């Protein structure tokens, strides 16, 4: 592969490390698997017309007043004026089909809005990993795997998902990386993949969700290829890429 | 070990992720093994009276004018008014013994100054790892392993050194972590340690140093226990902890 045709894969571990100006020609893949990006993939699979990522609580309330279905949480807790919270199990077909949902979470929706100057913004999780990788390759751009982390901190679960994606991308000779974060993510994925569910037991977010009784969806969120949908940002709304 | 007697180990991958206000009662260990903290350990081993970490180039020039020995680089290149640069091989006994050295580097000296509100600031590298761990345990405080990274980005070499330190600390029942960064560092160290020198070949900084012909010191910087000295910050100067 001639150097000029190579596409670069980078990984960003935290919104505090995201360099928006460097990525205006790249596709940014948002990864917040416990639980925002898993929920968004589920909502689109279940027929949601679109998801509006909402940064702050006041803006969420405005959407609610305007009649939108509202999914919203902070630190795992459902906001009291929201219709439901941040579990993928909330986004059932009977609730979401044909609806546009305003959605606000602690980390995931915040970073979506940080990435808006990228060439494309897509939503990634284990739930749509194979379809996502195929689509990324077809788009033929540099890629940033943007892990939401937890309140600016590094987290394990998004990193291993980025590692799983990187391993597949770098298996294609068109892609290369010189990014230590990507190399680390791949190595952590190699530690995790023989028993992903056991590995995730040690993640801090696993403990946070268990402490709040919100861990019922973790096994689901670690499931590869539940859907072939790729939520992408179009005109400020996340929609099915095929629409 | 009762919970209240437990000491916490945390790892910070980048200055952009450092939360100074949270760590005022902790010991912060500065890790920038290629090459600042390896050089500081070498300088103290070779009898330097002290190292003054200098943040910016103008301040470095002021120290030079006042007659200090000056070690200074940016992006690997020696500043033209400096006496020498940032390789540990520069800090020979005949040059440094009894001297106080002003020292300014791209990443390492910058983060030392970010950590000044911690209870203690110490300099860590593979070169002093065993002595450092013994001293940390004797100090009986929470610990932050602060990786310099590269211009705010994550790097592999400092992370695996933090992982090596964490593995030893968490082998002592007094220490615990709930920090995903520490868990990741330990897992990356477990990947690296069977052949540390081969592992570091893939690190971006390895490539940067090689491209500039500055990689002669890497093997040395990966050597455990070259010295039993622990450089610590006292009154704005890094000195031998035993003095």
Q: Which of B150, B188, B207 sits opposite A184 (nearest CB)?
A: B188
User: Residue A241 domain-assigned?
Assistant: no
| Residues of A contacting chain B (CB within 8 angstroms) | 13-14, 16-17, 150, 152-156, 159, 178-181, 183-184, 187-188, 190-191, 202-205, 207
**Cβ pair B180:A155 closer than 8 A:** yes
Residues paired with residue A70 on neighbouring β-strands, in sequence order: A102
Nearest residue of chain B to residue A186 (CA atoms):
B188
- Chain A residues with CB under 8 Å of B144 CB are none
For residue A32, the enclosing domain spans 3-234
Closest approach of A72 to chain B, Cα-based (Å):
25
**Cβ pair B188:A190 closer than 8 A:** no
User: Residue A240 domain-assigned?
Assistant: no
Asked if omega into A74 is within 30° of 0 (cis), the reply is: no
Task: Express each pLDDT in A58-97 by its tens digit.
Answer: 999 999 999 999 999 888 788 899 999 889 999 999 999 9
**Cβ pair A181:B154 closer than 8 A:** yes
Task: Express each pLDDT in B159-170 by its tens digit.
Answer: 999 999 999 999
CATH code (residue B120) = 3.90.1560.10
DSSP-assigned letters across all residues of A96-160: HBT-EEEEE-SSHHHHHHHTTTSSEEEEE-GGGHHHHHHHHHHHT--EEEEE--BTTB--HHHHH
pTM of the model: 0.95
Question: A120: which 2 tokens?
Answer: 């494309």
User: Residue B69 domain-assigned?
Assistant: yes
What pLDDT shows up at residue A56? 87
What pLDDT shows up at residue A146? 98
**Cβ pair B16:A16 closer than 8 A:** yes
- Chain B residues with CB under 8 Å of A178 CB are 204, 207
What pLDDT shows up at residue B120? 97
Closest approach of A195 to chain B, Cα-based (Å):
14
Q: Note the ipTM here.
A: 0.93
What pLDDT shows up at residue B234? 96
User: Residue A63 domain-assigned?
Assistant: yes
**pLDDT over 90 at A16, yes or no:** yes
User: Residue A33 domain-assigned?
Assistant: yes
CB B26 within 8 A of CB B142: yes
For A159-190, b/e burial (b = at least 16 CB within 10 A) is bbbbbbbbbbbbeeeebbbebbbbbbbbbbbe
Please provide the average confidence, as pLDDT, over all residues in chain B.
Answer: 94
- Chain B residues with CB under 8 Å of A161 CB are none
Q: Which of A16, A153, A156 sits opposite B183 (nearest CB)?
A: A156
Nearest alpha carbon to residue A33 among A192, A178, A175: A192
**pLDDT over 70 at B48, yes or no:** yes
User: Residue A242 domain-assigned?
Assistant: no
What pLDDT shows up at residue B167? 98
Closest approach of A101 to chain B, Cα-based (Å):
32
Closest approach of B53 to chain A, Cα-based (Å):
24
User: Residue A80 domain-assigned?
Assistant: yes
Exposure on the CB side of residue B105, measured as CA atoms within 13 A: 29
| For residues A13-35, average pLDDT | 96
**pLDDT over 80 at A2, yes or no:** no
The total domain count for chain A is: 1
CB B211 within 8 A of CB B113: no
Per DSSP, B79 falls in state: P
| For residues A107-120, average pLDDT | 90
Residues paired with residue B97 on neighbouring β-strands, in sequence order: B48
User: Residue A82 domain-assigned?
Assistant: yes
Sheet holding A50-53, edge to edge: A77-78, A69-74, A100-104, A50-53, A237-240, A231-234, A120-124, A27-31, A143-147, A7-12, A175-176
3 state DSSP class of A71: strand
Nearest residue of chain A to residue B18 (CA atoms):
A153
In whole angstroms, give the CA distance from residue A78 to residue B42: 54
A1: confidence class by pLDDT, cuts 50, 70, 90: low
């Amino acid at each position: 592969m001639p150097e000029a045709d190579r596409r670069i894969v980078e990984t960003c571990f935290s919104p505090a490390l995201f360099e928006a100006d460097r990525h205006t020609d790249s596709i940014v893949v948002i990864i917040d698997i416990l639980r925002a990006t898993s929920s968004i993939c589920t909502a689109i699979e279940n027929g949601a017309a679109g998801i509006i990522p909402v940064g702050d609580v006041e803006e969420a309330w405005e959407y609610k007043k305007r009649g939108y279905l509202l999914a919203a949480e902070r630190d795992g807790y459902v906001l009291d004026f929201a219709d439901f919270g941040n579990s993928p199990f909330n986004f059932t077909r009977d609730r979401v089909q044909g609806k546009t949902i305003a959605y606000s979470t602690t980390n995931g929706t915040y970073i979506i809005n940080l990435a808006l100057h990228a060439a494309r913004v897509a939503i990634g999780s284990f739930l749509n990993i194979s379809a996502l990788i195929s689509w990324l390759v077809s788009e033929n751009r540099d890629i940033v795997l943007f892990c939401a982390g937890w309140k600016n901190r590094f987290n394990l679960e998004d990193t291993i998902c980025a590692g799983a994606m990187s391993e597949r991308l770098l298996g294609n000779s068109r892609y290369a990386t010189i990014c230590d974060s990507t190399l680390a993510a791949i190595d952590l994925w190699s530690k995790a993949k023989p028993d992903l569910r056991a590995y995730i037991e040690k993640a801090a977010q696993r403990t946070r969700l268990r402490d709040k009784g919100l861990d019922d969806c973790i096994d689901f969120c670690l499931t590869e290829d539940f859907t072939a949908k790729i939520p992408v940002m179009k005109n400020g709304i996340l929609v099915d890429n095929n629409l």
